[in-house]
Amino acid sequence: MRGFLKKGLPEVGMMTPFKLTDELVAEIEQLIEYQKDSQLVSLLEEVHYADVAEIINELNALEATYLIKLLESDKTSDVLTELDDDVREAILNNLSSKEIAGELEELDTDDAADIVAELPQEIIQEVISEIEDREHAKDIVDLLRYDENSAGGLMAKELVRVNENWNVLTCVKEMRAQAENVTRVHSIYVVDDDEKLKGRLSLKDLLTTSTTAPIRNVYIPKVDSVNVNEKPEEVAKIMSKYDLEAIPVVDEIGRLVGRITIDDIVDVIREEADKDYQLAAGISQVVEADDSIWELTQARLPWLFLGLLGGVGAASIMGGFEEMLKEHAILFFFTPLIAAMAGNVGVQSSAIIVQGLANDDLKGSISNRLVKEMLLATLNGIILATILLFFSWWWYGNFFTALAISLSLVVVIIVAGIIGTFIPLFLDKRGIDPAIATGPFITTSNDIFGILIYFLIARLVLGL
């Protein structure tokens, strides 16, 4: 009996991570060229939509469109959400409004709204009007009016809501109907007659509650929610701090308007981390290794230009101390060291502050932070300067020159640490993303200050 029933079903096995190979892409291109539809369908049947998207990213627009039209739209709709922006745009250009509407029909409202927002203005209305499920179309249109960079822009309309005036029996019936459209239920939200969020019911509670009880007697009148205007990073912080898998979104007067799930938040966290990482590395807009040379240049050149200005500034400063060249050329040999140390210390201290700000775990006043960084920089500076003192004394044979270089290094490190600590705190107070401070911005300003301080102190110590 068992063998008969399970015939044809694949055996469950260890999940072997999908690996995109050139051979696979070539095979699929071949099958498309010869229009081997049934072979394509069966080849891709067991492949997850996220992996199908990876394959399609490698195809040209015509091949990609062919595949999207060939496969079932319950799969292709999900594929569309995972594609690179430019590939998706090319495919949507090749689809009719009716075909696009068919894909949107299969998607959750949040993903559908994201795709609609990317369409050319002139076809949006037509696409929306082709969506057969009018409720779905209305929800998508509702979502379009929220700022992409807000809880409203992240949320989906799909959720299970029950009225506090129902009883458990009605509730279970209604819930079953609503659950059809909701991929993951998580929580059942309780609202009053004005749609205001009152509390929640957990699925587990529902499994163990008598069906005759009225909802208003059994629901939990405590539920975390976020305002529809909240920033995505804040939603991410709240959900990860409180270990929430879904959070309801309410409007300005407390009405339940949507729900954000943790999978969207995982994407927000990843994107935030990528952005901060790139800013720290001096890349001014989010790019990927596979972007075009022109896109990469646009992201990289501005910071390099800043670095160039800094270097020119440093050169001008050194030109101002030209008279020291004859007697103390060694001072000039150590300028890259001074600039590098100033840059490194600045980046280290600003990175710790930026991260503390991002994770909301900085306590205490700015002045306390600065004092602490000063002590820390002094400790590090003295250790490093002592090493440098002995080395440069041994190398150049002049103790006072060596002392001048080492003393300067200590001061440069302290100033660099203070600048690195102060700038992100200052930017944050002004409402500017402090992540911009780590990287070339700090490095460049510290290069200039470092070299200036270095020569001033050296001149003082050497009595020139």
- Binding residues among 217-246 for its own copies as defined by CB under 8 A: 217, 221-227, 234, 238, 240-243, 245
Q: Quick one: CA dihedral 379, 384, 385, 389, positive or negative?
A: positive
Alpha carbons 462 and 322: distance in angstroms, whole number: 15
Token match 């095979």: residue? 27
6 binds its own copies (CB under 8 A): yes
- State which of positions 50-109 bind its own copies (CB under 8 A): 50, 58
Q: What is the DSSP annotation of 150-192? A: SHHHH-BS--EEEETTSBHHHHHHHHHHHHTT-S---EEEEE-
Looking at the Cβ atoms of 337 and 403, the one nearer to its own copies is 337
Among 444, 452, 455, 458, indicate the residue that binds its own copies (CB under 8 A). Answer: 444
Looking at the Cβ atoms of 141 and 214, the one nearer to its own copies is 214
Alpha carbons 25 and 47: distance in angstroms, whole number: 13
445 binds its own copies (CB under 8 A): no
Among 7, 145, 204, 430, indicate the residue that binds its own copies (CB under 8 A). Answer: 204
Alpha carbons 416 and 348: distance in angstroms, whole number: 10
Cα dist. 385→349, 381, 396, 449 in Å? 19, 6, 16, 18
- State which of positions 122-151 bind its own copies (CB under 8 A): none
- State which of positions 290-309 bind its own copies (CB under 8 A): 290, 293, 296-297, 300-301, 303-305, 307-308
Looking at the Cβ atoms of 81 and 137, the one nearer to its own copies is 81
Among 167, 178, 355, 398, indicate the residue that binds its own copies (CB under 8 A). Answer: 355
Alpha carbons 458 and 447: distance in angstroms, whole number: 16
Among 285, 311, 366, 370, indicate the residue that binds its own copies (CB under 8 A). Answer: 311
Looking at the Cβ atoms of 121 and 365, the one nearer to its own copies is 365
Provide the minimum distance between the beta carbon of 159 and its own copies in the complex, in angstroms, as a whole number. 14
- State which of positions 368-427 bind its own copies (CB under 8 A): 369, 372, 375-376, 379-380, 383-384, 387-388, 391, 395
Alpha carbons 116 and 290: distance in angstroms, whole number: 25
Bridge partners, 162 (sequence order): 190
Binding mask of the shown chain, residues 161 to 200, with x at each position contacting its own copies by CB under 8 A: ---------------x--x----xx-----------xxx-
Alpha carbons 271 and 253: distance in angstroms, whole number: 31
Provide the minimum distance between the beta carbon of 156 and its own copies in the complex, in angstroms, as a whole number. 13
Among 333, 390, 400, 426, indicate the residue that binds its own copies (CB under 8 A). Answer: 333
Bridge partners, 187 (sequence order): 202
Query: What letter does residue 95 receive in the DSSP assignment?
Result: S
User: How many residues touch its own copies (CB under 8 A)?
Assistant: 130
Token reading at 453: 């301080």
The helix (H) or strand (E) run that includes residue 39 is helix 37-45
Provide the minimum distance between the beta carbon of 130 and its own copies in the complex, in angstroms, as a whole number. 27
Give me the amino acid identity at 296. L
Alpha carbons 319 and 315: distance in angstroms, whole number: 6
Token reading at 79: 């594929």
Looking at the Cβ atoms of 122 and 289, the one nearer to its own copies is 289
23 binds its own copies (CB under 8 A): no
Looking at the Cβ atoms of 177 and 460, the one nearer to its own copies is 177
447 binds its own copies (CB under 8 A): yes
Looking at the Cβ atoms of 89 and 205, the one nearer to its own copies is 205
SS3 326: coil
